[in-house]
Amino acid sequence: RGIAWAHRTAPEFDIYFISNQLDSARSFNLSLRVAGRQPELWDAVTGETRPATDWQTENGRTLLPLRLDRNGSVFVVLRGEPTAQTSAHTGPNWLATQPVQTLGGAWQVQFDPKMGGPVPPVAFAQLTDWSQHADAAIRHYSGTAEYRQTFQWKPAKNPRQRVYLDLGQVNNLAEVQLNGQFCGIAWTAPYRVDVTDAVKKGTNQLRILTTNTWANRLLGDQALPADQRQTWTSAAAPAAGKPLLPAGLLGPVTLSTSAPFTTSHPK
């Protein structure tokens, strides 16, 4: 229940698209009606591919456990020459991360005055939903806001470990920059980016540019005179009194590590 799939086949390959339709992570066992080729897992969000590391064949079917994040998906690809191998059990078929540090404390948040936000940076003692803020300029803000924080990092003893920044809950997307280096854009669960090449021992400067939809600004503009509104649309305005949408970086923001996968990009 809550798992959708599609199957495409040709003489040289079979491709299954597996999609978690629920807003919660799911673990399940997959049974595919093909056998004789080693399964690969292709991530459409990151572009990475890797061989499945936990699978077996049984009665002409390929069996493998999967774990998908909320609303997550994966392509399971069986291609290439047939193999006599019938199983592999060398590790999980998904990225297993271990939280090692939470970035709590205060954040400096800069809104865009041109989009109706406050001019000076705002100190958030903790990550807060913009739509619940006491300041109407933040409560009805739609656009991009820049979160800044400085943190200390002590590298792990294993130099091959990957380091990830997990953003927790984001409404609606976020660009991550660490020590002046672009690390990626998180636009879907699990809102995680790889910061291995950017994080350094000691002091680190983190910027997270978070953008929401324009729904809250449209609602806020209804209470303003026409010459003070930030938005204009030919579409029907949202109903007055409609609840504001959650907005901004809600977290928790954590650093996590994992053992590296052997990955590549599809050819």
pLDDT attached to residue 159: 76
pLDDT tens figures, 164-173: 999 999 999 9
Under the banding of pLDDT at 50, 70 and 90, the label for residue 265 is very low
What is the CATH topology of the domain spanning 100-258? Jelly Rolls (2.60.120)
Nearest to 198 by CA among 156, 168, 165: 165
**Cβ neighbours of residue 179 closer than 8 Å, sequence gap 6 or more:** 198, 199, 200, 204, 205
pLDDT tens figures, 124-177: 999 999 999 999 999 999 999 999 999 999 987 777 889 999 999 999 999 999
Q: Round to the nearest angstrom and report the end-to-end CA distance of the chain.
A: 33
Classified as helix, coil or strand, 94 is coil
The residue extents of the domains of the chain are 3-94, 100-258
The predicted model scores a pTM of 0.87
pLDDT tens figures, 47-95: 899 999 999 999 999 999 999 999 999 999 999 888 899 999 999 999 8
pLDDT tens figures, 205-214: 999 999 999 9
Q: Classify domain 3-94 by CATH number.
A: 2.60.40.1180
